[in-house]
Amino acid sequence: MDPYKRLQLARKNGRPSGRFYIENILTDFVELHGDRRYADDPAIMAGVGLLSGHPVTVIAHEKGGDIRDKAHRNFGSANPEGYRKALRQMKLAEKFGRPVLCIVDTAGAFAGMGAEERGQGQAIAENLMEMMTLKVPVVSVFVGEGGSGGALALAVADEVWMLENAVYSVISPEGCASILWKDASKVKEACSCLKMTAEDLLEMGVIEKVIPETQPETLCETLKAQLDMAFSALSAMTPEERCEKRYARFRRLGVFGE
């Protein structure tokens, strides 16, 4: 399928976002709120639940359901407090020794005045650093859009998976088109250039797994089973081994000459 079609699917109104997966993969979910510094950011949902009976921390972008909910959640574009809320949950996971599941679905970190004032760059940077040495297993699943640093701030993980029609890119194709061709309507071309589909990223070794998109119920069952397996396997390693492997995972990424 052409990359532009995938982008449209990834952004499609009504496509399940974070909350749907939390509700359908976990049981006994307790939502936890706030960053303890400034506010609670509804663009990111977080808490603890059971995955096949095991407690896990879950951190998810949520774009919102109806238009009111979408506005409330800022369409899944988090402010710095969202990333700090996520980090707070990761630290709790580390304290209580439970794995972290991140569900990514965002067009990107919010580019607002308040976000800048409160250190959007600093908040993301801190997550990147802290996630790299987080002592518990981390798996990130991209379920829709994966926009740049705002997505990466929940994706410094032991394994990164993408749903078949999810996308992950350093810049929105619109942004790319307007910089490259001074023409934001050349989104189609930009989509192909950026290599942003799950297929492309698997080929580049940026992700571990592409999850086929079946009916939502079966998809959640598949995810649940695969996550359960992944967390079991990751838990068999020591924290040092996991961190070493996580570092190596990102260390090898990049193409350059010498």
Partner 1 sequence: MLNKMNFKKNRNQLEGYSPSLEETSPSVPDALFNKCPECGRVTLSAELSESLLVCPKCGCHIRIPARKRLLALCDEDSFEEWDASVYSKDPLDFPGYAVKLKSSRLKSRETSAVITGRGKIAGMDCALFAMEGQFMMGSMGSAVGEKVTRVFERALEQRLPVIGFTVSGGARMQEGILSLMQMAKTSGAVKRHSDAGLLYVTVLTNPTTGGVTASFAMEGDIILAEPGALVGFAGPRVIEQTMRQKLPKGFQSAEFLMEKGFLDGVVPRTEMKEKLTTILRLHKGGSSYGSV
**Alpha carbon distance 134, 158 (integer Å):** 10
**Rounded CA gap, 116 and 82, in Å?**
13
Q: Given the rule CB under 8 A, which of 49-57, 61-69, 233-241, 244-252 is the region that contacts partner 1?
A: 244-252
Q: Is 71 in the site for partner 1 (CB under 8 A)?
A: no
User: Contacts with partner 1 in 15-54 (CB under 8 A)?
Assistant: none
Spatial separation of the C-alpha atoms in residues 134 and 102, rounded to whole Å: 13
Residue placing its CB nearer to partner 1 in the complex, 96 or 247: 247
Residue 57: its H or E element: strand 54-61
Cα radius of gyration rounded to whole Å, the chain: 17
Compute the distance between CA of residue 131 and CA of residue 49 in angstroms, rounded to an integer.
Answer: 20
Of 84, 168, 211, 223, the one binding partner 1 by CB under 8 A: 168
**Helices 80-96 & 120-132 angle (0-180, nearest 10):** 20
Binding mask 91-110 for partner 1 (x = CB under 8 A): ------------------xx
195 part of the interface to partner 1, by CB under 8 A = yes
CB of 27 to partner 1, least distance (A): 32
Instruction: Compare residues 32 and 170 and give the one whose CB is closer to partner 1.
Output: 170
Q: At what angle do helices 120-132 and 239-251 cross, to 10 degrees?
A: 120
One of 53, 67, 182, 256 touching partner 1 (CB under 8 A): 256
Under the criterion CB under 8 A, does residue 209 sit at the interface with partner 1?
no
Q: Which of 176, 219, 220, 223 binds partner 1 (CB under 8 A)?
A: 176
Shortest Å distance, C-beta 239 to partner 1: 13
Residue of 194, 198, 227, 234 interacting with partner 1 (CB under 8 A): 194
Q: How far apart are CA 116 and CA 112, in angstroms?
A: 6
Spell out where 126-246 has E strands. Answer: 138-147, 159-163, 167-169, 209-211
Cα dihedral angle (23, 25, 30, 31), rounded to 10 degrees?
-60
Minimum separation from the CB atom of position 124 to partner 1 (A): 4
DSSP string over 63-80: --SSHHHHHHTGGG---H
Neighbouring C-beta atoms of residue 156, cutoff 10 Å: 22
Task: Identify which range of 11-19, 54-62, 65-73, 119-127 contacts partner 1 by CB under 8 A.
Answer: 119-127
Residues at the interface with partner 1 (CB under 8 A): 109-113, 115-122, 124-126, 128-130, 132-133, 148-149, 152-153, 155-156, 168-171, 176, 179-180, 193-196, 201, 204, 206, 246-247, 250-251, 253-258
